[in-house]
């Protein structure tokens, strides 16, 4: 009789821990934090992302043997529902936030030279002779973040913000901000 009560207690204790883990994963996702979890049963890793899939679940990576591999696939797969996560024996092993904002429609971007090493560079190099453009549409797809630039869809990893130089001439009036106060100045 004592073993049966102990087994029942352990079952409820483990279920509560699993639910707390699921709640922590959900809280992380809602705050923009990626969560690496380990399945205690088979020692596999998966990354839960703060990006939702078409079913309203947060997207995941595939199950992988090593953390770095799971991070590479973060967001590629549809996510488990909260009910499914509650049933898994998971342990949070790492939490991280990706630095940098995604681009928005209208942002000016430069196209990185690393794109020239891809197979599809030859197909659209004439569309971007100056290696810059403007974000026309953003696509948050199953396999990553893509943008339409000059009519062509380009992977996020090949884009960077475009910072254009501004020429100031003698006699131009500019606005300067010092300690939160704005001033107008004339170039002499």
| Mean pLDDT of the region 127-155 | 84
Q: Are residues 91 and 136 in the same domain?
A: no
Q: Are 184 and 172 in contact (CB under 8 A)?
A: no
Residue-wise pLDDT for 21-68, tens only, equals 888 998 888 887 889 999 999 999 999 998 888 888 899 999 999 999
How many structural domains comprise the chain?
2
Q: Are residues 29 and 72 in the same domain?
A: yes
How far is residue 182 from each of residues 78, 158, 167, 174, 178, measured CA to CA in Å?
48, 36, 20, 10, 6
Residues 6+ apart with CB under 8 A from 142: 53, 59, 76, 77, 78
Q: Are residues 18 and 85 in the same domain?
A: yes
Q: Are residues 116 and 62 in the same domain?
A: no
**Alpha helix positions (H), 31-163:** 67-72, 82-87, 121-124
Q: Are residues 186 and 117 in the same domain?
A: yes
| Mean pLDDT of the region 117-136 | 87
Domain boundary residue, one of 69, 96, 123: 96
Domain boundary residue, one of 54, 71, 96: 96
Q: Are residues 15 and 64 in the same domain?
A: yes
Q: Are residues 119 and 44 in the same domain?
A: no
Of 101, 57, 99, 102, the closest CA to residue 75 belongs to 57
Q: Are residues 16 and 76 in the same domain?
A: yes
Q: How confident is the model at residue 92 (pLDDT cuts 50, 70, 90)?
A: very high
Question: Which domain range does residue 157 map to?
Answer: 103-188
Domain boundary residue, one of 80, 96, 112: 96
User: Based on C-alpha coordinates, what's the Rg of the chain?
Assistant: 24
Q: Are residues 108 and 26 in the same domain?
A: no
- Is the per-residue pLDDT at 178 higher than 80? no
142 vs 103, residue with greater confidence = 103
């Amino acid at each position: 009789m004592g073993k049966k009560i102990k087994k029942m207690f352990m079952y409820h204790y483990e279920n509560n821990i699993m639910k707390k883990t699921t709640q922590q994963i959900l809280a992380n996702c809602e705050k923009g934090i990626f969560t690496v979890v380990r399945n205690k049963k088979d020692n596999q890793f998966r990354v839960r992302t703060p990006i939702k899939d078409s079913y309203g679940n947060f997207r995941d990576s595939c199950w992988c043997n090593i953390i770095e591999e799971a991070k590479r696939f973060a967001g590629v797969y549809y996510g488990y529902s909260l009910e499914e996560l509650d049933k898994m024996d998971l342990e949070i092993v790492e939490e991280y936030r990706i630095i940098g904002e995604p681009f928005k429609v209208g942002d000016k971007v430069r196209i990185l030279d690393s794109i020239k090493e891809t197979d599809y560079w030859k197909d659209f190099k004439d569309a971007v002779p100056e290696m810059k453009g403007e974000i026309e549409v953003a696509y948050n797809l199953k396999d990553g973040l893509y943008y339409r630039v000059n009519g062509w869809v380009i992977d996020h990893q090949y884009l960077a913000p475009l910072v254009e130089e501004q020429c100031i001439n003698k006699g131009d009036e500019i606005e300067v901000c010092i300690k939160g106060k704005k001033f107008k100045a004339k170039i002499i």
